Structure 1
Amino acid sequence: MAADPIAVVPDQAHPSGPGHRPTPAPIGSPGAFVGRDESAFHRACDPRVFDWLEHVQAAAGCSHPIRLSGEVAAIDRATGRLLASVSTADLPDGEIYKPCGNRRHAVCPSCARTYQRDAYQLLRAGLAGGRGIPATVTQHPVAFVTFTAPSFGTVHTRIVKRHTCGNRRRCDCRAEPCHPRRASDPTARPCEHGHPAVCWARHEENDPRLGQPLCLDCYDYDAQIVWNHAAPELWRRTTIAITRHLRARARKLGLPWVEQVTASGRVRRVPPVKPSFGKVAEMQRRAVVHYHAIVRLDGVNPYDPDAIVPPPAGLGVDDLVAAVEHAAATVGFTTRPHPTQPAGWRIGWGEQVDVRPISADGDITDGKVAGYLAKYATKSTEATGHVSRRLDGEVIDLYANVHGTHPERLIDACWNLGGHRDWQMLRRWAHMLGFGGHFLTKSRRYSVTFRILRDARVIWRRTEGGHEYADQPADDTTTLIVGLLSYAGSGWRTTGDALLANTAAAMARERHEVAREEVLAAA
């Protein structure tokens, strides 16, 4: 359904320009600005309001669009001749509106939705083919893997042993008791700080206690922060271990190595198998990262190193599952020393590692996996109750408190550990609770790139989408589009502009969803 347009109006506490608000000017002229209470009325009464709505259509749903001014020119590549030119001074407001492109749903729902759909196409193409990926990838052994972090202290959790709900997103199944203990059990005694180690509550899905430690003072915040920070390196070592295990398996089966000719003409022998990865990071409610990954087993083409071919006969999904399980159980390393931990912290995966094969007709299908991972690609620390921009010494006291809430203690630990010169990067990622990696990554050969998907969308807008440059030549081989643009500001110029633009975008999305549902019903 359409998003509430009121929820995406600009934050009036932050200026929309590079340093100050623009001065008032008549509506319809470049640099127009009116008062907050009357801006929507004046914009709606402007005779060019529909031209303005069409002009901002590309960024209409964005919470904080980027405004650019200058000139866009189309140049013939062969002769250098100027074919066409459009100046932003001739456009409504004298500026071009560009979506902010933020992937986080809590920051910009509209741009996050676009990112999520691109992520779905990217991940699914590596499983089902299409968009330049051969359809033969459906014949490759593929596994869906979940890597979790170890425990840093007991937290409130919700466990459902048997789901009877039809939709896991709105699960209302009866949960098991959180942490039940018998009175005679020694672990049921209160901790040294006097907090109970037992919780008989059957937590609901929206219970704010979920992810919170039973005792804040017993929780190992330093170890969790360091683990979040080291998670990307742990993932890198895991992919290496999976690759080595598969190569050893191929050697044991007697599969011949492949001879490839390099660009310089040299012949090299390479293993006949190569795994490809697509990975998404999820921030759990307890504020620790865990990974969902797609691992696909590929072969090697002796004539084209970039070609995606099936693995050699003899290597199957069981070998892939065994390689992942072996890597998850054995990979680990110790961090560099820190004054508070001279021996360093031991980094490794938790005990809960789930490996499931993906099949076209089973319970775990390519569409379900791609949708599941794409959903988490737009989330961040909001699941923990903390949302902020990058922190510095001037604002850290607003978010860090050694005696505060769970997120506040994590930020405090991150900032204190980052005070050492060899651990300064922790302070840079304090707003991310120590995690400084990418939330979605993939192997080069796994699938297409975001850039390819975005370029295809730009071409469609310029040629078919009713863009103001649709009448210009679209052949990139002969025509070069040059944007001589400069940054003019960010955010909507007025609250009224945001309200009108986002309302129009919400209505368009609702019509699109209705049409999509009707097409699916007719099919």
Structure 2
Amino acid sequence: MLDRAARLRQLSEVDQDLIRLAQNPRFARWLEQVSATGGCAHPIHLTGSTTTRDAGTGEVLHHYDTATEPGERLLIRCRNRRATVCAPCSRLHAGDTFHLVRAGLVGGKSVPADVRERPRLFVTLTAPSFGPVHRATADGERCRPRRNAGHCDHGRSLGCPAAHDATDPLVGQPLCPGCYDYPAHLLWHAYAGRLWKAFTDNLYNHLAARTGHTRSGLRRTVRISYAKVAEYQKRAAVHVHAVVRLDGAHGPGTPPPAWATAEVLTAVVLTAAAAVRLRSSYSSALGEHELRWGSQLDARPLRAFGGREGLADDAVAAYVAKYVTKGAADASAGLDHPITGPDDIAAARLLAHVRTLMRTCWRLGGLPELEPLRLRAWAHTLGYRGHILTKSRAYSTTYAALRRERADHERTAPDSADELDAITDAHWRYVGSGHTPGASLIAAGIAEDLATNREVARDAVAHLSGGALGAG
């Protein structure tokens, strides 16, 4: 009864807020602002002004001030990549990621078109095993069928006769939490960035050894470019998907030598990853751990221009873009926000396996010898400190350049500062964020309409072109 009363009060608050918004004389302009953000679920509120003057005469070419805006505020996108936080901004971020990755595969956005003729691979590197977990199966296959499986020291069976589909909450959970090496899992996350650096260094070393070059001589001949995205597996361990491209010494503007083929690069990727070995910091409580990539390594060539063999460029770019917005939308990825202590972990809605990882991360973060790893600051991401997507400098364009290009495209009136010798004086201040309950409902409707329009347009273009389009 109380829950129903609370829901009724909530509905009443939304209705009252909708009436308040609709009766505001500046409602139409407010609606324009919300539409301009794409229905952003958590917009940033700014107040201030921008004045553009001719540098020679001092004449005011353009002036904008929020004093005439509803609430004297300007709404801008939050730009959060996580779909769980803001679906409209995450879709925009996924689109930017698609174009960023695709430009490094087929050219465009300042990248020459002949990069599509270079050796290019789609590489997957995984974490090693930290203990047996339940796995998804198909066609009635059982999870871990073992005859006379026996039991571990904690009394749990070492086998699992069940058949799990991908939606089974058991998938990714340890067969025995007591046997699972939680500290090793978290230390691997903390060192994942260094593992990737060791892998890319090894690529040059192994490529030099394979082709008879010195390491310095090889670096004067070829350049390895990449874009990589981190994905949390069901077992809450990060693995890496990466596009790796081989260029000439000066990056995408120069072709690699004739001996640099996809076959050579594939062989080197596999040996370079397998050879990575790092040691964690010594701890009196944990000792020292050897850190390496998992045994499940994969390197597949991308389809050559005009060819039929290999992965398609657009499919790979869409795949990377999909994972860059997942983040903590996946139950195995921890939380969207930092935590302040064990109470936050206890209050969060988490899988038991993820909760144990987070608690272990917090506990290890209190050890003085592990303090440089900042495990407590990154306990919400299970010790993983890297960005979800990173790329080498020469791979392709940047998010900032893509946003600039979109802003120029969306500008309704030409900016005189772009055409004349002008100076701009801007004064802006953050004054808040988010929506009221009624405004949130309107913004969600706008975002849904825009998403529907995009789908209709995509389907129409696909129909006219006679084939399916890639993501974008």
TM-score above 0.5: yes
Which of 173, 177, 193 is the aligned partner of 1:232? 193
What one-letter code is carried by the residue in structure 1 that aligns with 2:448?
A
TM superposition shift of 1:374? 1.1
Which residue pairs with 2:441 in the alignment?
499
How do 1:197-236 residues align onto structure 2 when only pairs under 5 Å count? Answer: 197-236=158-197
Matched, 1:351 2:299: no
- Say whether the 8 Å CA contact 2:119–2:246 is kept in structure 1: yes
* Structure 1 pair 199–54 and aligned structure 2 pair: CA distance change class (3 A): same
Which of 416, 423, 426 is the aligned partner of 1:483? 426
Which of 86, 103, 113 is the aligned partner of 2:81? 103
Worse-matched range after superposition: 235-244 or 38-47 = 38-47
TM superposition shift of 1:134? 0.4
Worse-matched range after superposition: 425-434 or 508-517 = 508-517
What one-letter code is carried by the residue in structure 1 that aligns with 2:277?
G
TM superposition shift of 1:340? 1.5
Equivalent residues, number: 449
- Say whether the 8 Å CA contact 1:308–1:445 is kept in structure 2: no
- Say whether the 8 Å CA contact 1:116–1:377 is kept in structure 2: yes
How do 1:107-186 residues align onto structure 2 when only pairs under 5 Å count? Answer: 107-160=85-138, 174=139, 176-183=141-148
* Structure 1 pair 43–320 and aligned structure 2 pair: CA distance change class (3 A): same
Alignment partners' CA distance in 1, 2:419 and 2:291? 48
Listed as ranges, the gaps of 5+ residues in structure 2 are 1-8, 466-472
TM superposition shift of 1:480? 4.7
How do 1:95-494 residues align onto structure 2 when only pairs under 5 Å count? Answer: 95-160=73-138, 174=139, 176-183=141-148, 188-252=149-213, 271-300=220-249, 305=250, 308-342=253-287, 344-360=288-304, 361-385=308-332, 386-393=334-341, 395-396=343-344, 398=346, 405-424=352-371, 425-463=374-412, 470=413, 472-473=415-416, 475=418, 478-492=421-435, 494=436
What one-letter code is carried by the residue in structure 2 that aligns with 1:437?
G
TM superposition shift of 1:422? 3.3
TM superposition shift of 1:452? 0.5
SS in 1 for 2:78: coil
Using structure 2 for the length normalisation, give the TM-score.
0.89
- Say whether the 8 Å CA contact 2:124–2:297 is kept in structure 1: yes
TM superposition shift of 1:332? 1.1
Alignment partners' CA distance in 1, 2:131 and 2:232? 17
* Structure 1 pair 332–257 and aligned structure 2 pair: CA distance change class (3 A): closer
TM superposition shift of 1:273? 1.2
Residues 301-344 of structure 1 show CA distances to partners (whole Å, capped at 9, x for unaligned) of xxxx45522211122111101110111111111111012123x1
The structure with more helix, counted as a fraction of residues: 2
- Say whether the 8 Å CA contact 2:145–2:160 is kept in structure 1: yes
* Structure 1 pair 516–382 and aligned structure 2 pair: CA distance change class (3 A): closer
What one-letter code is carried by the residue in structure 1 that aligns with 2:73?
E
- Say whether the 8 Å CA contact 2:54–2:420 is kept in structure 1: no
Alignment partners' CA distance in 2, 1:111 and 1:207? 30
- Say whether the 8 Å CA contact 1:286–1:384 is kept in structure 2: no
* Structure 1 pair 422–396 and aligned structure 2 pair: CA distance change class (3 A): farther
TM superposition shift of 1:511? 2.0
What one-letter code is carried by the residue in structure 2 that aligns with 1:312?
P
Alignment partners' CA distance in 1, 2:158 and 2:363? 28
SS in 1 for 2:426: strand
- Say whether the 8 Å CA contact 2:124–2:240 is kept in structure 1: yes
Q: Post-superposition, which runs of at least 4 consecutive aligned residues in structure 1 deviate over 6 A?
A: none
TM superposition shift of 1:69? 0.6
Residues 172-215 of structure 1 show CA distances to partners (whole Å, capped at 9, x for unaligned) of xx3521111123xxxx1021111122212221221111111111
TM superposition shift of 1:231? 0.6
TM superposition shift of 1:502? 2.3
Which of 59, 65, 88 is the aligned partner of 2:43? 65
Which residue pairs with 1:76 in the alignment?
54
Alignment partners' CA distance in 2, 1:75 and 1:284? 53
Using structure 1 for the length normalisation, give the TM-score.
0.81
TM superposition shift of 1:481? 4.7
- Say whether the 8 Å CA contact 1:157–1:203 is kept in structure 2: yes
Matched, 1:518 2:460: yes
Worse-matched range after superposition: 125-134 or 481-490 = 481-490
Percent identical residues:
40
- Say whether the 8 Å CA contact 1:136–1:309 is kept in structure 2: no
* Structure 1 pair 70–106 and aligned structure 2 pair: CA distance change class (3 A): same
What one-letter code is carried by the residue in structure 2 that aligns with 1:214?
L
SS in 1 for 2:278: strand
Alignment partners' CA distance in 1, 2:291 and 2:215? 34
Residues 242-280 of structure 1 show CA distances to partners (whole Å, capped at 9, x for unaligned) of 02222333435x99959xxxxxxxxxxx52111111111
Residues 473-511 of structure 1 show CA distances to partners (whole Å, capped at 9, x for unaligned) of 26266345543110110111x211111122123213312
What one-letter code is carried by the residue in structure 2 that aligns with 1:94?
E
SS in 1 for 2:22: helix
Alignment partners' CA distance in 2, 1:321 and 1:416? 40
